[in-house]
Amino acid sequence: MGIHDEDLQRVKVESDLAGIVSQYVALKKVGQRFSGLCPFHNEKTPSFSVNADEGFFYCFGCQKSGDAITFVREMEHLDFVGAVEWLANRLGIALRYTDSSDGTNRKERQELSDLLEKTAEFYHQTLRSGKQAGKVRSYLRSRGFDSETVEQFRIGYAPDEWDALASHLGVATEKLEAAGLGRPGQRGGAIDFFRDRVMFPVCDANGVVVGFGGRMLPDGQQPKYKNTPHTRLYDKSKVLYGLHWAKKQIVHADEIIVCEGYTDVIGCFRAGLDRAVATCGTALTDEHVKTMVRFAKRIVIAFDADGAGKAAADRFYEWEHQHNAEVFVAAIPEGTDPGQLAEENPAALTEAINAAEPFLSYRINRVLDRADLERVEGRARAAADTGAIIAEHPNEVVRDQYLVETAQKVRVDIEQMRRLIVNPPPQQANTPTPPQDSPDSDNRREVTPPAQPPPVELNVLRALIHQPEAVSALVLPAMFTDPVAVEAYSLVTSEGWRDRVNDFSQPVATLVGRLLVEEVDADPVELVSRALDAVIHRWNTQLRYDVNDIEQLRKHQPIVQWLAQRQEEMHSDQTRAAAVEAIVEWLRTQPANDASTR
């Protein structure tokens, strides 16, 4: 596999790791580094750290570490080359490949991507200035889509012709078909997949166009919505419309609003709810939820979730359990949708989103809304119906709280209400199964944290990484006894080591990854002096073992005393630097300083 080394280096140097990580999780600046919730394992307090200057990350929870390429590989499930391409794309670096056949597959994806981008522009320009798009422009205006909205969402129009796009792009029919934009016509040539429709470009989380949604005009005879068919770039069970526009707000608010349609997302944005996304012509899937919880834990469902009943409930509870999500439901008035509501009464839309309730409470309240609580029969009915809904929740504690609350509302004795739950669900969540956060977190969970080298050695390594100019002349191999620290020392003192961290053994890569995001918390020379204290202590101990008679001991007495004096001097700020230098100089003359003083 091969990307030109020069290009690879450029990608490494120019990648802004903190910026990239911020696309997935919120980062806060803490001292010199950034900190946030780890995207690789499930956690509630931040243990994920980014050293922006060095371009390295480390998680104190799961010990995952690496550079921008490692991060993108993990997050986007890409191979090495794929991750480099992902980064290069954002940086505007055109990669050169060392082996031409190797790039073919990727080149094909890139070609599709280019075609889709050109198509988005073609549709958009057609809507803005095409002669036949006049009726579409006035239709959109009548629906409250001003030119600003058209620009912001890059809305377009697919002309009412058989091959307007195909002839504009002028590429082979197979290419059009592979991009989901056309198919072979009966008389040869290609015909467009979308015709006479308002076009919404669908992008991935990074803003790269992967497909389209086409909405029929009001007088059309075709299905209301038509979406790009499954292609190499477009998978409707994964893609979320609007995510790349909304993701910043989503992270900021720790809340994501999920709608069903393109116009719903746009409506939410227009109502000031710029944290909305939509599934593209499909029900919410597990993949969608996995993507969403990377950005926010609280998922607000802004479509009719009531009708789906128990099947939907089971899925929602499962997601809450599996992905540590909180599923809320906004009560959008019946017969309308967020898009329409935004147009007619934006305040009502905002109100509905802000008043979103946990799914269980939402369902109970819908039953109570319809119930006739004035009559005994009505109350009994409401108790039975809400009881059945409560019984579906897998968590006993949650069930019980809702039982108490609901029993009061329907004015039924709590014990009677309890008896209504005749069929407790088969899966009891009070015996929790281990949560599965990210797809491959399981094997990571089994990794036991490596044994920690003595802090003194870690401090020196850390100083060596962050302030080499201050300490590199003072640090010697004799300061390291822990095997991982010894190897880490040889790594961080070698030329160009930052590019080779992952070539080293896992414990070393992990240790160095962590040190890279940590800060030197004391004067670096003082840290070296503590390491020297330890070296001298070991040297003295060894001497007592090695020396058997008084005569030999007396021979060593001067150096023992000399070292004791220097050690004393190392404790004072005024004399430390000179003492450290003196000891280091002496240590260099000692025969065994390549491993330890032994």
Could you tell me which of 313, 306, 312 has the C-alpha nearest to residue 333? 306
* Distance of alpha carbon 305 from alpha carbon 279, whole angstroms: 14
In this complex, which beta carbon is closest to Zn ion, that of residue 246 or of residue 325?
325
* Distance of alpha carbon 177 from alpha carbon 308, whole angstroms: 35
Residue 40 found at the interface with Zn ion (CB under 5 A): yes
Spell out the SS3 assignment of 451-468. CCCCHHHHHHHHHHHHCH
Among positions 18, 37, 62, 312, the unique one binding Zn ion when judged by CB under 5 A:
62
- Residue 501 DSSP code: G
Strands (E), 6-76: 28-30, 33-36, 48-51, 56-59, 65-67
Segment near Zn ion (CB under 5 A), from 32-40, 85-93, 369-377, 503-511?
Answer: 32-40
Could you tell me which of 118, 218, 119, 198 has the C-alpha nearest to residue 156? 198
DSSP secondary structure letters along 489-504: HHHHTSTTGGGSGGGS
Report, in Å, the least distance between residue 294 CB and Zn ion.
Answer: 13
Q: Return the residue matching tokens 């990239």.
A: 20
Contact 212, 199 (CB under 8 A): yes
* Distance of alpha carbon 95 from alpha carbon 73, whole angstroms: 17
In this complex, which beta carbon is closest to Zn ion, that of residue 58 or of residue 241?
58
Could you tell me which of 563, 594, 595 has the C-alpha nearest to residue 580? 563
- Torsion angle in degrees (nearest 10) through CA of 10, 16, 21, 24: -90
Q: Which residues pair with 278 in a beta bridge?
A: 241, 259
In this complex, which beta carbon is closest to Zn ion, that of residue 61 or of residue 182?
61
In this complex, which beta carbon is closest to Zn ion, that of residue 39 or of residue 387?
39
Q: Return the residue matching tokens 């019980």.
A: 400
Segment near Zn ion (CB under 5 A), from 31-39, 119-127, 364-372, 462-470?
Answer: 31-39
Segment near Zn ion (CB under 5 A), from 37-45, 152-160, 511-519, 582-590?
Answer: 37-45
In this complex, which beta carbon is closest to Zn ion, that of residue 501 or of residue 583?
501
Contact 543, 560 (CB under 8 A): yes
Positive or negative: CA dihedral 160, 162, 163, 165: positive
Residue 294 found at the interface with Zn ion (CB under 5 A): no
Segment near Zn ion (CB under 5 A), from 57-65, 129-137, 176-184, 530-538?
Answer: 57-65
In this complex, which beta carbon is closest to Zn ion, that of residue 113 or of residue 438?
438
Report, in Å, the least distance between residue 64 CB and Zn ion.
Answer: 5
Among positions 61, 66, 156, 261, the unique one binding Zn ion when judged by CB under 5 A:
61
Q: What tokens does 559 get?
A: 């150096």
Residue type, position 152, single letter = Q
Residue type, position 69, single letter = I
Report, in Å, the least distance between residue 61 CB and Zn ion.
Answer: 4
Residue 68 found at the interface with Zn ion (CB under 5 A): no
**CB neighbourhood size of 287 (10 A):** 14
Segment near Zn ion (CB under 5 A), from 53-61, 148-156, 265-273, 330-338?
Answer: 53-61
Report, in Å, the least distance between residue 21 CB and Zn ion.
Answer: 12
Report, in Å, the least distance between residue 447 CB and Zn ion.
Answer: 11
- Residue 167 DSSP code: H
Residue 41 found at the interface with Zn ion (CB under 5 A): yes
Report, in Å, the least distance between residue 35 CB and Zn ion.
Answer: 12
In this complex, which beta carbon is closest to Zn ion, that of residue 58 or of residue 269?
58
Report, in Å, the least distance between residue 40 CB and Zn ion.
Answer: 5
Report, in Å, the least distance between residue 567 CB and Zn ion.
Answer: 40
Positive or negative: CA dihedral 244, 245, 246, 249: positive
* Distance of alpha carbon 46 from alpha carbon 288, whole angstroms: 24
Kindly state the number of chain residues that form the binding site for Zn ion, as judged by CB under 5 A: 6
Segment near Zn ion (CB under 5 A), from 40-48, 168-176, 206-214, 428-436?
Answer: 40-48
Report, in Å, the least distance between residue 578 CB and Zn ion.
Answer: 44
Q: What tokens does 85 get?
A: 């391409």
In this complex, which beta carbon is closest to Zn ion, that of residue 35 or of residue 126?
35
- Residue 3 DSSP code: B
Segment near Zn ion (CB under 5 A), from 52-60, 197-205, 295-303, 572-580?
Answer: 52-60
In this complex, which beta carbon is closest to Zn ion, that of residue 41 or of residue 236?
41
Burial of 140 (0-12, 13-18, 19+ CB in 10 A): buried
In this complex, which beta carbon is closest to Zn ion, that of residue 40 or of residue 480?
40
Query: To which H or E segment does residue 227 belong?
Result: strand 225-227
Among positions 21, 27, 37, 38, the unique one binding Zn ion when judged by CB under 5 A:
38
Report, in Å, the least distance between residue 41 CB and Zn ion.
Answer: 4
Report, in Å, the least distance between residue 66 CB and Zn ion.
Answer: 12
Report, in Å, the least distance between residue 510 CB and Zn ion.
Answer: 12
Segment near Zn ion (CB under 5 A), from 62-70, 169-177, 384-392, 412-420?
Answer: 62-70
In this complex, which beta carbon is closest to Zn ion, that of residue 32 or of residue 441?
441
Among positions 8, 27, 37, 59, the unique one binding Zn ion when judged by CB under 5 A:
59
Report, in Å, the least distance between residue 37 CB and Zn ion.
Answer: 9
Residue 261 found at the interface with Zn ion (CB under 5 A): no
Contact 66, 79 (CB under 8 A): no
Q: Return the residue matching tokens 């329409």.
A: 340
In this complex, which beta carbon is closest to Zn ion, that of residue 41 or of residue 366?
41
Burial of 357 (0-12, 13-18, 19+ CB in 10 A): middle
Q: Return the residue matching tokens 């280019």.
A: 114
In this complex, which beta carbon is closest to Zn ion, that of residue 42 or of residue 249?
42
Residue 402, Cα to own-chain centre: how many angstroms? 33
Report, in Å, the least distance between residue 25 CB and Zn ion.
Answer: 11
Contact 264, 278 (CB under 8 A): yes
Report, in Å, the least distance between residue 175 CB and Zn ion.
Answer: 41
In this complex, which beta carbon is closest to Zn ion, that of residue 393 or of residue 514?
514
Segment near Zn ion (CB under 5 A), from 39-47, 326-334, 444-452, 503-511?
Answer: 39-47
- Which residues of this chain interact with Zn ion, rule CB under 5 A? 38, 40-41, 59, 61-62
